[in-house]
Structure 1
Amino acid sequence: MSLMITDECINCDVCEPECPNNAISPGEEIYVIDPNKCTECVGHYDDPQCQQVCPVDCIPHDPDRQETHDQLMEKYQKLTGKA
């Protein structure tokens, strides 16, 4: 399951540089996460780095994007070219 950023985002800019997949970018009003690039840091880290640094805890799992650990790993491998 990919992550999402809620409207509680304060645009503090700390999550974007932490994302190893470049899935986070400024949206019209708040930061957004591209679900096609979000692997919840699977393949890179043990925990999602954006969640670790977010000061307002506004990055939950996206209930509309259910993915297993294996699916996230497959996405990581496609994004990075690592098998």
Structure 2
Amino acid sequence: MALFKKRTVGKPGEWYYCLEHKKVEEGPECPAQNRFGPYTSREAAQHAMDTARDRNLEWDTDPKWHDEDRSGPPGGKPSPSGD
């Protein structure tokens, strides 16, 4: 007996955004690797790409994640050879 069952049919009211087909789906129609969700409403799923863009921008500009100069080697110290 499998410990986890693979769910192939979505629950009514679960909405997904398919990255491959660029459309909103009720219940998972496409493979998990090709979708965002679940969302609680069709409208939220329609804005999935906007939400992802906003979250990426928030992460990219978060000073907690950029506490080192990433242009040089780890630790921020130049290498002895000047590379």
Q: TM-score scaled to structure 1, two decimals?
A: 0.24
More contact order relative to length (CA 8 Å, sep ≥ 6) = 1
Q: Which has the higher helix share?
A: 2
Query: Which of the two has higher C-alpha Rg?
Result: 2
TM-score computed with the length of structure 2 as normaliser: 0.24
